[in-house]
Structure 1
Amino acid sequence: MDDAKSANVALVIETMYQVAANPDAWQQLIEALADAGDLQEMPSEAATDMARSLDVARLTARPEEGPVSSGRNDIGWIVLSSRRKALAANSLAHEMMDAGLGGLKLGAELAFEDPANGEALVRALNQSRAQPSGQTILRLDRGEDGPCFAYVAPARALPGVADAAAVELATDDQAFALIFPAVEETGRLWASIRESFGLTPAELRLARKLRDGRSLKEAADELEVSVNTLRNQLRAIFDKMGLKRQSDLIRALTQLSSVASAIEAQTPAMIPPASADAPPVVAITLRDGRRLAYRDYGDPDGRSVLFFHEGLGSSLLPPGAQGLARELNLRLICAERPGFGQSDPSPDYSFDSVADDMVELCDQLGLTDVRISAILSGAPSAMQTAIRLGKRAAGVLLCSGRPPRPVSEVRTRNALTLFRSRIENNPWVIETFYAILRLRLSAQLVDRIVRGSTANSPGDAAYFAQNAHIASYIATYVGESLARTSRGAADEVKAFRRARNLTVAELSCPLEVWHGEEDVFAPLADLLDYLGDKPREVRVFPGVGHLMALKHWDEVLRRAAA
């Protein structure tokens, strides 16, 4: 590999580290991938670094189940009642307290060797209750061993911690968690430091420089101020944070970073639960032993509709789907494609192999007259399934369909469109990216991504803003998609690139296309190029983009029942 290409690969890997520590940095990956060009295989020298980016993501990820101690060995935590009694703690917190801080006994008030630490804890708890974020930083003195720092945050903000003291928390909504760092990793904690210690913007800038390894002189040159000015700022930082040496400051900042990332990943709310009216996920066992999961909505004796979800989706359909399907005499089946949701991954994922699985699902369920509907990235799988079903397929309705084609150049391209096209050109990044996304997923992150995706569609932006429940639904939908693995999402993106010569020439049933006029995420021209002369009807909805199916969900089901 030449030097220029190696430099571009290094830039992508560096960006993956940023994404691993802070999922919002995924947009920076767009620019890095643009410089990388078109690189199909992972360079051998990149494999280790890509694996390390996953380690960073695991370090800063929320625990997938159980208390924090089972998911993170680098974080010590204590749950404190409103009266400062220890309700629960992990082994690392006991070690931290024993190492010069005091005693930790469950059911008793936290006891410090230095009474000043108890007073500092009271102040930190009061400050946390007054902070909008509910988080603050606590300085604790360990005598000759120097100070250490911990986060104070509402216990309910940390699901794993809250689970460990669920009974006590049920009657104490003022419980807080005291969270200790035990590793040195970088992260984003500057807002908490400013709020906790009252540092000025200039003092924060200096703290950043020192944490990043700059000397006072180097920091002065970069900030274009005198060394004496920075010395004065450093003294102010020491006074406000209760420190004496520059080395203590750097250690404190790097230690706190790991906890900052952990708390950021666990702030409420995480992925919301599915709506109460959604049927349970069930599954069949395929001939090769894999599990294929699905939800079965509506009337068991009604007209059969096989629904294909989005590329980061699950079998969870929009709220109200169960009741509306019953009203319309529909049996609405949404299967989770291999590697999505509760379905096992496929060893050889392709749109043809997905179609084979769906035909086997129809066989096992005894479906003989099947209507098919799909949204966005579910379109190619739906089309191949309709072809495989032959005369058993009564018709296909594609909503905002994404074809296996490169996205055409349009006047405006949003961040998701650019990201999708560039990650397809560099499939060596896909698996790691989706694995990081799965580790760092939160309702807030999904909300930000969806809002960003509506940037070029005023109709989508207005719809999303006016329907608060949609954000919760999409977060749950994406969360279910990645619940067990990210393999399905990664495998499908690769399948899109491999299938660029796929056609629908063998389709024999009627085909309808519904599309949003403002959809730049999946442009209609690309879809029609893929479908050729097969569509019997193309309906374009004004004032909406790729959220068309959500906005017109009732119409989608009524059309399937017509």
Structure 2
Amino acid sequence: MAGQLRESARPPGDARLVVETMYQVAADPEAWEQLVQVLDDDGQEPTPELVRNLALSEDIARLTQRRDEGPNAARRPDLGWVLLSPGRKALAWNGAAAEILGGMGELAQGQAIVFDDPANDEALAQACARTQRQAGQVIVKLDRDDEEGPAFAYLTRGSALAGLAGADLPDSLDADAGLALVFPAASVTSSLWASIRDSFGLTPAEVRLARKLRDGRTLQDAAAELAVSVNTVRNQLRAIFDKMGLKRQSDLIRALTELSSLAGLIDGQERARAQEMELLQAPPLKFVSLSDGRRLAYREYGDPLGKPLLAFHEGLGSSLLPPGSERIGRELGLRIVCAERPGFGQSDPREDYSFEGVAADMVELCDQIGLDRVRIGGVLSGAPSAIQTAIALGDRAVKVQLYSGRPPRAPEFTPGNPLVMFRRGIEENSWVLESFFAILRMRLSTAMLERIVRRSSVHSPGDLDYLDSHPETSTFLTAYIGEALARSSRGPVDEIRAFRRARNMDIGALRAPLVVWHGEQDHFAPLAPLLAFLGDRASEVNVMPGVGHMMMLKHWRGLLADAAA
């Protein structure tokens, strides 16, 4: 490590204070801002003894780690919940509830839930009135289409919500004053029926009938709702009995009920991860073996025969793209490939991490999976790798887009923004990087991340508005960062060091047109240093009003549409 550090005249006492502060951060990650005050702008070189002491901070983090923290923690609860005001306005919700209600109507911050079926409005209103009159909870039946059947939910006092697993409410909300609408997770139910189908060889029609019977329908009712004859459902029921080894309809219903109660308990950790990926609409990871034997992980979204777009995640990100990317990619005719750079997520690290090395890996990926005439998009710290890859691809790169791009230049000082000051500090003091990211990896949680994002958005009112209206953002960002740190923190550490080494990076060989997209209120990755780095290479600069660092999430569809043009 010492070979990578430049000499400094700073006394060792400064470095000792950094070590002591890291101990505080290990015990309480939200004390990270204290590091801003003690990291030296010009860099420091600690003694070997202090480096050894710094490693003890990781032991402190490990001892104080909670079960809901870290990249392997279940980040999506088995329950979907919506916190309602006494007037039935939606105050907050999690991703599971958004997934369930998204198929029945519209869920908007500060507004009453608008259902496609007016009968559901009346059902919820009656349940709210009953809940406010009596103790306990009321079961609400909400109708959906015939294929999915109705959704059932409990309506209870908001005070019960804090005790439910994963109910991570914003601190500013008074749950006691409202009502909580609580659903079983849709993906648990989907997983149950998929397991029954796969285990016993049931046809889709037989699964539909089994669902009806489990929900209490008679054979006559099921036949009417499925628009088939009673004789047809009797034949299907006999087939279900034969395949599942049952003799009576009551046995079937009991078996389905028992399986339902167990569905969320089997293979808890793996199931939670699968549910999270389903919520994020994430396709499975794929891998290529590079010429030196390392593996590179990537995901593909959209149209497999569409125009190729090679996406570069940010400096603490992964191949998870915003929910909806699969559908948007298909609609726009894009084949979106997002690879995890070396050391990130499930990709093996490079011993010689550099932007040129990343570009070589990406060119090899393009060659192996058949990407030609490639569009390139780089988010934040993915910008230098995106540009270098475009240079390496030469005429195969047809367009480069930078979304809130960060250049490999000395970070511009933005007083008052703690994340800008923090990044500047750790980039200048690379000796703290490994321990800090190891602590972050162990202590990451949705609640902590949401508070950090909100704290860093104080000068971007558009970002705060976006977070208020899209409370599921924290769930996505936690999964996005958690996947980046799934195996280690090696990639983010290597990349920050690469930024410091590459401050004289030359982009004169870039041939493809380059388009800049930036948020007007982005104080974390300011536009001015990026434009200074790009010089005359930017063919188009688009500044999006009323938004800052959340620009990419807010305008994701528009950015992809521009890539497809």
Per the normalisation by structure 2, the TM-score is: 0.62
Deviation at 1:45, TM superposition (A): 1.8
Distance 1:347 1:62, change over 3 A: farther
Residue type of the partner of 1:352? E
Contact 2:302 2:333 in 1 (8 A): yes
- 2:375 is paired with a residue whose SS is strand
C-alpha deviation, 1:273, in angstroms: 1.8
- Equivalence map 1:213-292=2 (5 Å): 273-274=276-277, 275=279, 277-292=281-296
Q: Report Cα offsets for 1:480-534 as digits up to 9, x if no partner.
A: 1111110001111111111111121110011100111111111111001111100
1:170 deviates by 5.6
Q: What is the letter of the counterpart of residue 47 of structure 2?
A: P
Listed one character per residue, the Cα deviations across residues 110-164 of structure 1 (whole Å, up to 9, x for unaligned) are: xxxxxxxxxxxxxxxxxxx9995699xxxxxxxxxxxxxxxxxxxxxxxxxxxxx
Match of 2:302 among 275, 298, 301: 298
Counterpart AA for 1:524: L
- Write the letter of the residue equivalent to 1:54: E
Aligned partner of 2:392 in structure 1 is: 388
CA 1:170–1:18 in 2, change beyond 3 Å: closer, same or farther?
A: farther
Q: Is the aligned partner of 1:537 residue 2:540?
A: yes
What secondary structure, in the 3-state scheme, does the structure 2 residue paired with 1:500 have? coil
Q: What is the CA distance between 1:425 and its match in structure 2?
A: 0.6
CA contact (8 A) 2:359 2:385 kept: yes
The corresponding residue for 2:359 is: 355
Is residue 17 from structure 1 mapped to residue 20 from structure 2 by the alignment? no
Q: Give the corresponding residue for 1:517.
A: 520
Note if contact 1:423-1:430 (Cα within 8 Å) is conserved in structure 2: yes
For 1:352, what is the secondary structure of its paired residue?
Answer: helix
Instruction: Write the distance in 2 (CA, Å) between the matches of 1:379 and 1:2.
Output: 30
Pick the aligned partner of 2:531 from 523, 528, 533.
528
Pairwise CA distance, 1:354? 0.6
Q: Would the aligned equivalents of 1:272 and 1:443 in 2 still touch at CA under 8 Å?
A: no
SS of residue in 2 equivalent to 1:513: strand
Amino acid at match of 1:384: Q
1:26 pairs, out of 25, 32, 47, with: 32
Deviation, 1:41, is 4.2
CA deviations over 1:184-203 (Å, ceiling 9, x no partner): xxxxxxxxxxxxxxxxxxxx
Counterparts of 1:10-159 in structure 2, within 5 Å, are: 10-33=16-39, 36-39=40-43, 41-62=45-66
Cα separation, partners in 2 of 1:425 and 1:2, compared to 1, 3 Å: closer
1:277 positional shift: 2.3
SS of alignment partner, residue 313 of structure 1: coil
Matching of residue 467 in structure 1 with residue 437 in structure 2:
no
Q: Residue 381 of structure 2 aligns with which residue?
A: 377
Match of 1:143 in 2: none
Deviation of the 1:39 alpha carbon: 2.7
Q: Distance in 2 between matches of 1:543 and 1:2?
A: 42
SS at match of 2:291: coil
Change (3 A) 1:289 1:487: same
| 2: CA distance, partners of 1:457 / 1:270 | 32
Tell me how far apart the structure 2 counterparts of residues 271 and 40 of structure 1 sit (CA, whole Å): 44
The separation in 2 between residues aligned to 1:442 and 1:397, in whole angstroms, is 31
CA distance in 1, matches of 2:447, 2:370: 41
2: distance between equivalents of 1:292 and 1:334?
11
Structure 1 residues 18, 429: closer, same or farther in 2, change over 3 A?
same
Task: Assess if the C-alpha contact under 8 Å between 1:407 and 1:523 holds in 2.
Answer: no
Q: CA deviation at 1:61?
A: 2.1
Long gaps (5+) in structure 1? 68-128, 136-166, 174-265
Partner residue of 1:428? Answer: 431
Matched, 1:321 2:333: no
Deviation string 1:264-318 (CA, Å, 9 cap, x unpaired) is: xx9xx99982335211011101111111000011111110000001111110000
Unaligned segments of structure 2, at least 5 residues: 1-6, 74-158, 166-257
Deviation (angstroms), 1:472 = 1.0
**Structure 2: distance between partners of 1:462 and 1:393:** 36
Measured after TM superposition, the shift of residue 325 of structure 1 is 0.3
Q: 1:479 aligns with which of 479, 482, 504?
A: 482
CA pair 131-284 structure 1, distance change in 2 beyond 3 A? closer
SS at the partner of 1:273? helix
Structure 1 445/501 Cα, relative in aligned 2: closer, same or farther at 3 Å? same
1:5 to 2:8 alignment:
no
User: Aligned letter for 2:24?
Assistant: Q
Which secondary structure does the structure 2 equivalent of 1:536 belong to?
A: strand
Query: What letter matches 2:480 in structure 1?
Result: Y
Higher relative contact order (CA 8 A, sep 6+): 2
1:417 equivalenced with 2:420 (yes/no): yes
Which amino acid in structure 2 is aligned with residue 465 of structure 1? D
Distance 2:280 2:160 in 1: 35
| Contact 1:270/1:442 (<8 A) preserved | no
State the 1:551 CA deviation: 0.5
2: CA distance, partners of 1:409 / 1:9:
22
Shift of 1:420: 0.2
Paired with 2:407 and 2:371, the residues of 1 have a C-alpha distance of 26
Name the CA distance, whole Å, in 2 between partners of 1:520 and 1:557.
24
TM score, norm. by length of structure 1: 0.63
AA matched with 1:473: F
Kept after mapping to 2: 8 A contact 1:271/1:476: no
- Paired residue for 2:313? 309
Task: Name 1:455's counterpart in structure 2.
Answer: 458
How many residues are matched?
374
Task: Give the one of 340, 346, 369 matched to 1:336.
Answer: 340
Amino-acid identity (%): 54
In the TM superposition, residue 352 of structure 1 has moved relative to its aligned partner by: 0.8
Structure 2 counterpart of 1:441, which letter?
L
Q: Does 1:444 align with 2:447?
A: yes
The whole-number CA distance in structure 2 between the counterparts of 1:12 and 1:348 is 28
C-alpha deviation, 1:413, in angstroms: 4.0
Which amino acid in structure 2 is aligned with residue 443 of structure 1? T
Once the two structures are TM-superposed, the CA of residue 58 in structure 1 deviates from its matched residue by 1.3
Pairwise CA distance, 1:448: 1.2
Residue 131 and residue 325 in structure 1: after superposition, are their counterparts in 2 closer, same or farther (change >3 A)?
closer
With over 3 angstroms needed to count, the CA separation of the structure-2 counterparts of 1:413 and 1:386, relative to structure 1, is farther
